[in-house]
């Protein structure tokens, strides 16, 4: 079952309540027996170290609980969020998400770097140079496999955790009980649920979610994935800068507007970028043809540590908007991240076969003159 | 004196030869006496540690030379590169750079993190939590002051170095002799030349280059810097994704073309993104109206470590281009980085008072029918 968050609830609270947190599953949710849960051991496989002599370690939830705890507030976004915006140009394959395949929670667990250190993994530069270890792979109860680069896994500022708690409660079954990975700044697919085993490796994880088409962004001119060599293309890790408009209301309710009228609209939304890049500005316009941009007021999430902005920033703006010939006002938003990357305007230049990472200007219209529509 | 690299030389070699490396000075180049050079000591000020008891350490070039050496190949780009592209919309303040305020060199020196460790700086998380240290400031012989976040300074994958060599020779006077900072992935202004002193601090460096208007990107709707509160805006550190076309030639020289003809053009250029984000694709079109994108072949620089792509990637493409009514072909390029950020299309939506970081689609035209022009 896949389910997105309703637009009007998306920015109602900063943390998304667990019951409405978006859901994207690749397989049926694993149903673990009481025995499997009671006897649960996270397996860490370090065999590829030191010339390949078998070496695995097991950690119980109690073992993990004995390590220093970390909280990370992180926004997860499906790489296919806003995919439906692409289908206007040409159909893409995948779930027709609106803007709601994104949610934010407080996750609690232990640092992956500590888990690896506890298992006996030594200096990382040695790992790379001596043993050629470049990736950490993760295996789940439902058969999913993903990996992340060793640099992200061990970076002291990377904040990757192995989590057992979501919004101060045990992980719900839908969100990975008993244990999931949380990889801040990366596409949600890398935050593997129902985590069973961790393997350090020279290679990326096998399978379609890491090496296949599912998470690869093809060029806009490619309409058949067979035309390209997928191995030459990196999978999605860090997300690009994006934003969404969740509500648009006239600042003052009054007389019905006429075509050409300017109405001040109160606009709210979210903006988010991958890699920990904080949102430094959101531009909003109600008259795109005139490039009439207004700077939004950044709200909750605006105080995240510089370069560790793992969660979205909410925003509000009061924007003059022109009632267009179709009887609607049309609002557009574009976020700007700390590297001053911003969102591209046109969908046609971003379109890709799998409909991934549509981060074009967010468009939302509101009917002002009902008779026309 | 400021000087950009001539377009036709920009991508002729991967490393820019030191004599043609672009130059951007804020002040006259300091002329150090023989005594100043012979007695040169880099000062490290750790006074803000441990409650503010004065604590400074001095290191000679020989001291630095005794530490493990590092090479970093890094592209430096002036934040004002491509500024002239903004002036078409409305005049901006600053040097009217084309695409040539960018160059790449091999820098040799020692890791800043080792320099700080040698000076007695302990665990970074302690620094932040106990002493509130958030920045490392750098002071130069010419009066320049800049700072970088403590996370960048101490990140094991940040590759910040204190360098004394450029392209395997002593630093030229124009490029910071005897010592400069090299901050990969950041705007060139942070790679301070003529480095004299390093200070760890709770605060950003003082002065216009860090806190003032000079390196702050204002919203496109702001035409007077007095309208905004500069303190609320972060200065430029990481650069956004950009590209440039350096040469455009018909693949086959032949008969003069006619308007409407399609001519295959051989196009070469560069692409670069900040923050170590590798370039994963460059799209080129010779018919922008038809969104006729072609994927460029990535050449030198395409093999940098994932997430540590500190230098540009060169590219080539063979692109069909339509001879337009003005007798020219018009080529556009847009790079895509590993976070799948790309370049925005229109200058008008990116324009800012100081003309900083114009990373819109790169446009280059070539006259095909001389009589019209």
For chains A and B, count residue pairs whose Cβ atoms are closer than 8 Å: 138
Mutation target vs B (from A349, A350, A351; most B CBs, 10 A cutoff): A349
Q: Predicted confidence band at B94 (pLDDT cuts at 50, 70, 90)?
A: confident
Residue of B155, B341, B357 lying closest to A240 (CB–CB): B341
* Interface ipTM above 0.90: yes
Tokens read off for A327: 């009887």
What mean pLDDT comes out for the span A327-333? Answer: 97
Give residue A128's pLDDT. Answer: 82
Q: Which residue has the higher pLDDT, B38 or A166?
A: A166
Residue A152: is it exposed, middle or buried by C-beta count within 10 angstroms (0-12/13-18/19+)?
Answer: buried
Query: Hey, where are the domains in chain A?
Result: 7-232, 242-367
Please tell me the distance from the alpha carbon of residue A273 to that of residue A101, in angstroms, as a whole number. 15
Q: Which residues of A touch B217 (CB under 8 A)?
A: 336, 340
Collapsed DSSP state (helix, strand, coil) of residue B194: coil
Q: What is the pLDDT of residue A246?
A: 98
pLDDT at A15: 98
For residue B90, CA distances in Å to A295, B22, B80, B86, B214 come to 19, 26, 15, 7, 18
Interchain contact B120–A (C-beta under 8 A): no
In contact, B182 and B199? CB cutoff 8 Å: no
Contact B232/A at CB under 8 A = no
What integer pLDDT is reported at residue A348 of this predicted model? 95
> Poorest-confidence range of A2-6, A38-42, B189-193?
A2-6
Q: Is the predicted pLDDT of residue B373 greater than 70, yes or no? A: no
Name the average pLDDT for chain B: 94
The alpha-carbon gap from A44 to the nearest alpha carbon of chain B, in Å, equals: 24
* pLDDT tens, position by position, B107-150: 999 999 999 988 888 777 678 888 899 999 999 999 999 999 99
Buried b (16+ CB within 10 A) or exposed e, B54-85: eeebebeeeebeebeebebbbbbbbbbbbbbb
Nearest to A275 among B275, B346, B359 (CB): B275
Q: How far apart are CA B297 and CA B320, in angstroms?
A: 15
- pLDDT tens figures, B295-348: 999 999 999 999 999 999 999 999 999 999 999 999 999 999 999 999 999 999
Average the pLDDT over A10-28 and give the result: 94
Token pair listed for A323: 């009632």
Question: Of A236, A294, A307, which is closest to B340 when you measure between CB atoms?
Answer: A236
pLDDT tens column, B173-230? 999 999 999 999 999 999 999 999 999 999 999 999 999 999 999 999 999 999 899 9
Mutate: best of A338, A339, A345, A360, partner B, most B CBs <10 A: A339
pLDDT of B41 higher than 60: yes
| Span of A43-57, A65-79, A315-329, B354-368 with lowest mean pLDDT | A43-57
Residues B317 and A218: their CA atoms lie apart, in Å, by 17
Residue B171 pLDDT level (bands cut at 50, 70, 90)? very high
Distance from CA of A328 to the nearest CA of B (A): 23
Candidate from A236, A307, A356 with C-beta closest to B151: A307
Please give the Cα distance from B350 to A188 (Å, whole number). Answer: 30
pLDDT given at position A2: 79
Structure confidence at residue B3 (pLDDT): 87
A311 CA to centre of own chain? 9
* Residues within 8 A of A (CB atoms), B 143-162 only: 149, 151-152, 155-157
Tokens of A160: 């990757």
Report whether pLDDT(A373) > 60.
Answer: no
Give the alpha-carbon dihedral of B120, B124, B125, B131, to 10 degrees. 60
Cβ of B219 within 8 Å of Cβ of A292? The answer is no
CATH architecture label of A242-367: Sandwich (2.60)
Residues of A in contact with B341 (CB under 8 A): 240-241, 339, 341, 359
Q: Which residues pair with A104 in a beta bridge?
A: A75
How far does the CA of residue B30 sit from the closest CA of chain A (Å)? Answer: 31
The yes-or-no verdict on residue A108 having pLDDT over 70 is yes
Residues A334, A295: Cα–Cα separation, whole Å? 10
Q: Measured between CA atoms, how close is B272 to chain A, in angstroms?
A: 12
Query: pLDDT value at position A295?
Result: 97
State yes or no: cis peptide before B355, omega within 30 of 0.
no
Does B343 contact A at CB distance below 8 Å?
Answer: yes
Paired strand residues for B145: B139
Under the banding of pLDDT at 50, 70 and 90, the label for residue A372 is low
Locate all alpha helices (DSSP H) within A209-328, ordered by sequence.
none
Which chain B residues are closer than 8 Å to A243 by Cβ?
none
Residue A118 confidence (pLDDT): 86
- Whether residue A126 has pLDDT greater than 90: no
Cα B219 from Cα B237, distance rounded (Å): 17
**What's the mean pLDDT in B12-25?**
95
A119 band by pLDDT with thresholds 50, 70 and 90: confident
The reported pLDDT for the residue numbered A25 is: 87
Question: A interface mutation test: which of B111, B202, B339 has the most A CBs within 10 A?
Answer: B339
Residues of A in Cβ contact (< 8 Å) with B338: 234, 237-238
Contact A131, A125 (CB under 8 A): no
Q: Is B227 on the interface with A (CB under 8 A)?
A: no
A357: which chain B residues are within 8 Å (Cβ-Cβ)?
340
A253, pLDDT greater than 90 = no
pLDDT-derived band of residue B6, with 50, 70 and 90 as boundaries? very high
Mutate to test the interface with A, among B332, B335, B341 (most CBs of A within 10 A): B341
- Beta-carbon count within 10 A of A212 CB: 13
Judge whether B373 is closer than 8 Å to chain A, CB to CB: no
Query: Nearest to residue A320, comparing CAs of A343, A287, A345?
Result: A287
Cβ atoms of residues B220 and A291 within 8 Å: yes
Identify the pLDDT of residue A85: 92
Task: Provide the pLDDT for residue A1.
Answer: 67
User: Helix, strand, coil proportions of chain A in percent (round to 5)?
Assistant: 15, 30, 50
Structure tokens at B53: 């008891």
Of B157, B234, B291, the CB nearest to A280: B234
Measured between CA atoms, the residue of chain A closest to residue B344 is: A344
Q: How far is A144 from chain B (nearest CA, A)?
A: 23
Q: What is the CATH code for A7-232?
A: 3.90.420.10
Q: Mutate which of A126, A148, A158, A340 to test chain B, going by most B C-beta atoms within 10 A?
A: A340
Is B90 or B145 the better-scoring residue by pLDDT?
A: B145
Condensed to tens digits (0 to 9), the pLDDT of residues A195-223 reads 999 999 999 999 999 999 999 999 999 99
pLDDT in tens, A170-182: 999 999 999 999 9
Average pLDDT over residues B87-115: 93
pLDDT at B183: 98
């Amino acid at each position: 079952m896949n389910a997105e968050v309703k637009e009007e609830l998306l920015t109602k609270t900063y943390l998304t309540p667990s019951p409405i947190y978006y859901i994207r599953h690749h397989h049926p949710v694993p149903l673990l027996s009481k025995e499997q849960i009671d006897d649960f051991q996270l397996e860490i496989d370090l065999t590829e170290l030191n010339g390949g002599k078998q070496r695995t370690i097991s950690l119980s939830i109690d073992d993990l609980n004995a390590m220093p705890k970390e909280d990370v507030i992180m926004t997860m976004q499906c790489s296919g969020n806003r995919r439906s915006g692409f289908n206007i140009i040409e159909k893409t394959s995948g779930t027709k998400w609106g803007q709601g395949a994104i949610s934010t929670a407080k996750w609690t667990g232990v640092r992956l770097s500590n888990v690896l250190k506890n298992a006996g993994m030594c200096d990382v530069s040695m790992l790379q140079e001596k043993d050629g270890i470049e990736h950490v792979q993760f295996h789940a109860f439902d058969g999913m496999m993903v990996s992340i680069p060793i640099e992200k896994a061990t970076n002291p500022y990377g904040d990757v955790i192995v989590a057992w708690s979501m919004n101060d409660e045990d992980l719900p079954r839908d969100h990975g009980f008993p244990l999931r990975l949380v990889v801040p700044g990366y596409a949600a697919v890398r935050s593997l649920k129902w985590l069973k085993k961790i393997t350090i490796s020279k290679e990326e994880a096998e399978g379609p979610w890491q090496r296949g088409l599912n998470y690869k962004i093809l060029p806009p001119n490619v309409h058949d994935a067979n035309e390209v060599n997928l191995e030459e293309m990196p999978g999605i890790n860090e997300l690009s800068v994006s934003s969404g408009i969740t509500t648009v209301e006239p600042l003052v309710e009054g007389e019905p507007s006429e075509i050409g009228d300017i109405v001040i609209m109160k606009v709210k939304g979210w903006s988010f970028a991958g890699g920990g890049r904080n949102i430094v500005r959101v531009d909003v316009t109600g008259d795109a043809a005139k490039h009439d941009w207004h700077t939004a007021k950044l709200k909750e999430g605006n105080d995240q540590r510089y370069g560790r902005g793992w969660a979205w920033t909410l925003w509000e703006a009061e924007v003059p908007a022109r009632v267009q010939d179709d009887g609607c006002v049309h609002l557009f938003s574009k976020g700007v991240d700390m590297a001053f990357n911003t969102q591209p305007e046109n969908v046609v230049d971003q379109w890709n076969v799998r409909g991934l990472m549509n981060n074009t200007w967010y468009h939302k219209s509101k009917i002002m003159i009902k008779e026309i529509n």
